[in-house]
Amino acid sequence: MTESYGWVPEGVDITVPDAARVYDYALGGVHNFAVDREFWHRAEKMFPDAGLVARANRAFLGRAVRWLAGRGVCQFLDIGSGIPTLGNVHEVAQDADPAARVMYVDIDPIAVQQSRSLLAGNPYARVVEGDLRKPDGILYHPEVLDLFDFSEPVAVLTVAVLHFVPDEADPAGLLRRLGEPLVSGSYLVVSHAGLAETPEGREAQERARKLYERTPTPVVIRSREQVAALIPDAFELVEPGITGASDWHADPDEADDPPQPTALVAVARKRDAGA
């Protein structure tokens, strides 16, 4: 039976799986379609750790936001945010500081529309449609400029999105451009699909990667060194540097799943002027 939804924006093809909706389903969300669920189940068969990696990424995001909020950061620009699900950025940030401001950005109009519905009534959390590959369109979007004070630190979150950016789109250059207008003491948060540590794991990753080639968002799996090269020179990594998602400031309460070294993560701070 074909699903039909009156709230789907005109022109959106829901017969093709979308990364934001697939990720939403992987995390237990409900804002997805049959095509997204079927795609995820195929991906899990090819890469059995896929669900563990998705959860590790999400848990890392929550820990990173709490860590940043604990250092006084109260502005969060979440690029490639997908559909806000349980433990989303504004909930975590505003739990620490009710006045924390969060701007979600996603390229998928369905994710944007669903996010607007979920954020209704929250004056400090908004969403805009934007493309990571067009950073100026994000940084200078009227709603972003209205919500944020760029004379104060901003945390730019790029969680589980950079592996959808091919080398020819210059992901390092995109991060550098996003960081240029930020003041010292701002942060960049990154998570990225990294190479598996065993031949069997890499073979499974390759099968999953080939599956994603059939979607509008093919996956690029990068090594630890390649992920490190994405961090702009103006930023310095905070401890523990580039590591597996489950190892970054690990929380004993999140120890149910085994470590996921294939989800590489990092948090970097913009250097002080003249440093």
Q: Which residues of 188-210 are buried (b: 16+ CB within 10 A; e: fewer)?
A: bbbbbbbbbeeeebeebbeebbe
Cα dist from 8 to 15, 117, 226, 248, 265, whole Å: 12, 13, 37, 37, 33
At residue 126, the pLDDT reads: 96
pLDDT confidence bin for 274, thresholds 50/70/90 = low
The 3-state DSSP class for residue 267 equals: strand
At residue 9, the pLDDT reads: 62
The 3-state DSSP class for residue 225 equals: helix
At residue 11, the pLDDT reads: 61
pTM: 0.90
Write the pLDDT tens digit of every residue in 224-237. Answer: 999 999 999 999 99
Write the pLDDT tens digit of every residue in 36-55. Answer: 999 899 988 988 888 888 88
The 3-state DSSP class for residue 265 equals: strand
User: Tokens in use for 109?
Assistant: 């109009």
Cα dist from 109 to 117, 202, 231, 246, 257, whole Å: 12, 33, 28, 31, 32
User: Token pair 């607007």 is at which residue?
Assistant: 116
Where are the chain's structural domains? 49-270
Query: What is the rounded distance in angstroms from the CA atom of residue 101 to the CA atom of residue 11?
Result: 31
At residue 255, the pLDDT reads: 62
Cβ–Cβ < 8 Å for 266, 190: yes
pLDDT confidence bin for 4, thresholds 50/70/90 = very low
Write the pLDDT tens digit of every residue in 178-214. Answer: 999 999 999 999 999 998 888 888 898 888 888 888 8
The 3-state DSSP class for residue 155 equals: strand
Question: CATH assignment of 49-270?
Answer: 3.40.50.150
